Amino acid sequence: MSFETFGQPLLTFPDAEKSPLSIRAKALVFVDPRSRQLREDLEQLATRSVSVLIRGETGTGKELLARHIHRASDRGGLFVSVNCGAIRPTYADAELFGYAAGSYSGSASSRAGWFGSANGGTLYLDEIGDLPLPIQIKLLAALENHEVTRVGAHQPSPVDVRLVAATSIDLAQAVAAGKFHERLYHYLSEGQLELPALRERTGDILSLAEYFLGIYSQRLDLPVPLISEAAQQVLERHSWPGNTRELENIIHFALLVSTGEEILPEHLNLPASSISFSEIEQHIVLTSKNATAAEKTALKQWLERLSQTL
């Protein structure tokens, strides 16, 4: 199931029962002009062999872009996703590069590791800045030499892996602080994608909201309500510090507490208005062009008092 515009799918609804991914990771939205530009950049990078670094705030959907890169490439292997923050430092070598039989007590067989599992495909490393420095050095060597040496093995094994990494921090600052390997950073910088925060691509908000509403209605066997015009305005004005993850939770909540055929602002559990002081000021200026000098002075004084309370 998908929505179409200009002949291209904007939303993708994979079968929820067959996919192990979260609801959020299935939403493919490129409606906003910034998102459309991102899609163009992404598809140009996808067919190249360079590694890719995706930068964006937490909750923006970086893994979604990584999966799209893999699908748009010609690589027939697996897409292997690894959360670097969850890798145990003691066993980081074995988890990433694998181990030979007998390397550990009770390990009668060998294991390919995440790197070997992605052979011929794509290895996605989420929050790559969380990798310990010694592992970063080994990762760079594996990428440059196209081979890995499993723990306990005497000979390296050839691998063909494309790396797509993601970070929510400025890795250049981490390099300057001595916390991230400089050569690995430059290796990753061959292909970079910047995923804007949701508040910076407002054109995607309502499409994502409708997507989440449709999926949760299907999962909970509930009628699909409409999002009222007033609720749409609240959604578009909210700053979304939690990005797509926050939007998913808000829509899920609204579906469960709404009682009619429409979702109203009070169902969203968000401020009724998140208009900034500058927007209020601009509106008043526009509506006061014909005001007298005294009226303009009064307006200016009122705006100054208002600014102190916002």
CA-CA distance, 206 to 258, in Å (whole number)? 18
- Interstrand relation of 192-194 and 147-148 (parallel, antiparallel or unpaired): unpaired
- The 10s digit of each residue's pLDDT in 256-302 is 999 989 999 999 988 754 444 454 455 455 555 556 666 566 666 65
Does the pTM exceed 0.85?
no
Question: Binning pLDDT at 50, 70 and 90, where does residue 6 land?
Answer: very low
Amino acid at 147: E
| Residues 67/243, Cβ–Cβ less than 8 Å | no
- E strand or H helix that includes residue 158: strand 157-158
- With 60 as the cut, is the pLDDT of residue 246 above it? yes
Q: What are the backbone dihedrals phi and psi of residue 89, each rounded to the nearest 5 degrees, phi first?
A: -55, -40
Among 20-34, 132-146, 248-262, 285-299, which is the least confidently predicted range? 285-299
Least confident window among 112-116, 162-166, 205-209, 295-299: 295-299
